[in-house]
Every structure is written in structure tokens, then in C-alpha cells.
């Protein structure tokens, strides 16, 4: 049984996160420079316009990153599958002969569009929160002026000024709430999203390539997980519900939330038939199948069955 190197996307993820970190630092610097002690409406407009330009540049960089790295992850998935199935003797040869089949071409287009939309939502969230904070803070400054009868705002107490500046800064790192109700800071969310999308692309490409070559089974990787993934490490699964065998499908396991959750590092090795598996691997797969089914039967993301 051939097992290729585990995919590693640290460099690619760090590259994207750096784009977001740099833009957030620039926005924070602009908000810090925004003069609340000499407020003018035109200054607020100029600030918001510049922040919009920074975020537009970020959107362009993020879109370019997606167009480059999603296909690269898919290519790696295809090459690894070609090697696993013994089509060629080396991974180098698999890299040379790879070609996207139709399902993979369509999947790549869909994942690229989906990822770009998710990243765009991050910048839109930041811009919306910053605009709202700037408007609220400037409105409070003007109200303070009126109540004190001042033309400028030099009379604002230092603790009030500090709180207003803090509110501006906090607006940049306001949490993003995902579909599961989890709250993320923008940088952390982008890190999670990019890792998850790259692995999703890698897995999708592997499945499509394996099915195209008549391979319907896969063995889930194992690295001593401590979370719910541990119930499914070393299991045999089906790549299609129509495949023979009493095994769960990739989609069923993914939907359970117990494995292939955000940032999950598990992958799988495709194979044609159980006869290709060493005896010790088969025995472990049988033990894990019983354990995994008990975990799935609980219906929870983190079953307590140990």
C-alpha cells in the first residue's frame, strides 16, 4: 500500500494571513492617526475612503491567492491518488502525468468561487464595522461639543477620548460569526478558512480521480488524535454511496462533524480492494469500524464513549 507525503499548506496559509495582517495593521494605524481633537467631516470621509481602498487591494490579493492555490491543492490530490493506485511507480512521474478530469475541473471552479466569496465576506464585515464605529464615534464627539458649547473637542476628557479610540480599534477585530455560530477574529478566521478549503480541495480532487480510475475505497489516516477524529482514524470508508461494502462514506463522516472539521489535518489513502491492505491494517480497521459506528450512533460532534 502506497502512502504519499502528507499535504502541507503552512506556507500558502501564512502568505494569505500576512495579507490580512498587513491590511489590518494599516487600518489600525489610520484609525489611530484620526484626529478626534480637531474633528472635521471631510477628514472622516477621507479616512473611510482610504480604508475602502486598502480593503479593495486586499480583496484583489486574496482573489489571486485563491486562483493560484486552490488548483495547486487539487493537482496535489490528483497526483497523490495516481501514485497511491500504482498507476506509475513514483510520485515524480505522477506529478508529470496529472490531468484534471471533468468532475475535478467543475469542483475547482466551485471551490474557487466559494472561497473568494467567503474571503470577500471577511473584508466586507471589517469595512461595515469600521464605518459604523467611525460614524458612532464622530457623532459622540459632536454631541459632546454641543453639550459643552465647544467649537473644537479639546475639552473631551482623556478617559472619554481613550474609550472612543478603543472603540475604533476594536471595530477592526470584531468577531466574524460562521454558520455554526462560532465567533472568529478576522485573522484567525482567514487562517481556519484557508486551511480548511485547501484540504477540502485536496480531498475532493482525490475522490474524483479515484472514482474515475475505478477505486472506491480509502483508508483514513491516523496520527493519535485526541478529539472525536480518534474514533475514525484507520477506518475504511467508501468514496461513493454506490460502492460495495458496509462502510461509511466520506460525506457521511464529514457531515457528522466528528472528523474533517475546520482545520482538521486528517486525510486518506485510496485503494482498489481490501486485498491491497496489510493484515495489521485490516485488523485495526475492523476495530476502528466498531468504535466509529458507536461514535456515529450518538449523533454528537464529540461523543463520550471511551
Output the average pLDDT for the chain.
90
pLDDT at site 239? 97
Mean per-residue pLDDT, 213-233: 94
Q: What is the pTM of this model?
A: 0.90
Mean per-residue pLDDT, 60-86: 98
pLDDT at site 43? 86
Name the percent of the chain lying above pLDDT 90.
67
Mean per-residue pLDDT, 175-202: 88
Tens-place pLDDT, residues 268-280: 999 999 988 999 9
Instruction: Write the DSSP string, the chain.
Output: ---PPPP--HHHHHHHHHHHHHHHHHHHHHHHHS-GGG--HHHHHHHHHHHHHHHHHHHHHHHHHHHHHHHHHHHHHHHHHHHHTTSSSSHHHHHHH----HHHHHHHHHHHHHHHHHHHHHHHHHHHHHHHHHHHHHHHHHHHHHHHT-SSSTTS-HHHHHHHHHHHHHHHTPPEE-TTS-EE-HHHHHHHHHHHHHHHHHHHHHHHHHHHTT--EEEE--S--SSGGGGTTT-EEESSTTSSSS--BHHHHHHHTSSS-TT----EEEES-GGGS-HHHHHHHHHHHHHHHHHHHH-SSS----
Q: How many CB atoms lie within 10 A of CB 11?
A: 8
Mean per-residue pLDDT, 39-52: 88
* Whether residue 249 has pLDDT greater than 90: yes
* Whether residue 26 has pLDDT greater than 80: yes
Mean per-residue pLDDT, 94-112: 96
> Do the beta carbons of residue 200 and residue 111 sit within 8 Å?
yes
> Do the beta carbons of residue 166 and residue 79 sit within 8 Å?
no
Q: Which of 41, 265, 236, 291 is nearest to 145 (CA)?
A: 41
Q: How many CB atoms lie within 10 A of CB 170?
A: 12
Tens-place pLDDT, residues 152-186: 545 556 667 778 778 888 888 776 777 777 778 88
Q: Which of 4, 5, 12 is nearest to 70 (CA)?
A: 12
Instruction: Write the DSSP string, 248-271.
Output: -BHHHHHHHTSSS-TT----EEEE
Domain boundaries, the chain: 9-189, 216-298
Q: How many CB atoms lie within 10 A of CB 182?
A: 12
Tens-place pLDDT, residues 114-140: 999 999 999 999 999 898 988 888 888
Residue of higher predicted confidence among 163 and 229 = 229
pLDDT at site 153? 46
Mean per-residue pLDDT, 31-59: 88
pLDDT at site 148? 62
Amino acid at each position: 500500500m502506497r502512502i504519499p507525503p502528507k499535504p502541507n499548506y503552512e506556507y500558502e496559509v501564512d502568505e494569505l494571513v500576512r495579507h490580512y495582517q498587513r491590511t489590518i495593521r494599516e487600518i489600525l494605524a489610520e484609525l489611530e492617526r484620526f484626529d478626534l481633537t480637531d474633528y472635521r467631516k471631510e477628514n472622516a470621509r477621507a479616512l473611510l475612503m482610504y480604508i475602502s481602498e486598502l480593503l479593495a487591494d486586499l480583496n484583489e490579493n486574496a482573489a489571486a491567492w485563491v486562483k493560484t492555490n486552490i488548483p495547486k491543492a487539487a493537482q496535489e490530490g490528483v497526483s497523490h491518488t495516481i501514485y497511491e493506485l500504482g498507476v506509475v511507480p513514483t510520485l515524480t512521474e505522477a506529478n508529470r502525468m496529472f490531468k484534471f478530469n471533468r468532475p475535478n475541473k467543475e469542483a475547482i471552479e466551485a471551490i474557487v468561487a466559494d472561497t473568494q466569496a467567503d474571503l470577500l465576506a471577511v473584508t466586507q464585515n471589517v469595512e461595515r464595522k469600521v464605518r459604523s464605529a467611525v460614524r458612532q464615534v464622530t457623532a459622540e464627539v459632536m454631541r459632546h461639543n454641543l453639550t459643552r458649547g465647544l467649537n473644537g473637542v479639546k475639552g473631551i476628557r482623556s478617559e472619554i477620548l481613550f474609550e472612543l479610540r478603543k472603540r475604533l480599534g476594536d471595530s477592526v477585530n470584531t468577531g466574524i460569526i460562521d454558520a455554526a455560530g462560532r465567533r472568529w477574529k478576522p485573522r484567525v478566521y482567514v487562517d481556519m478558512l484557508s486551511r480548511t478549503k485547501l484540504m477540502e480541495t485536496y480531498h475532493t480532487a482525490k475522490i474524483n480521480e479515484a472514482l474515475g480510475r475505478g477505486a472506491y475505497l480509502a483508508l483514513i489516516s491516523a496520527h493519535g488524535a485526541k478529539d472525536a477524529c480518534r474514533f475514525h482514524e484507520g477506518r475504511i470508508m467508501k468514496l461513493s454511496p454506490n460502492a460495495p461494502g458496509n462502510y461509511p462514506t466520506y460525506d457521511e463522516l464529514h457531515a457528522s462533524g466528528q472528523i474533517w472539521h475546520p482545520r482538521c489535518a486528517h486525510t486518506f489513502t485510496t485503494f482498489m480492494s481490501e486485498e491491497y491492505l496489510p493484515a495489521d491494517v485490516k485488523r485495526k480497521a475492523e476495530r476502528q469500524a466498531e468504535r466509529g459506528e458507536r461514535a456515529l450512533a450518538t449523533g454528537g460532534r464529540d461523543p463520550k464513549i471511551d
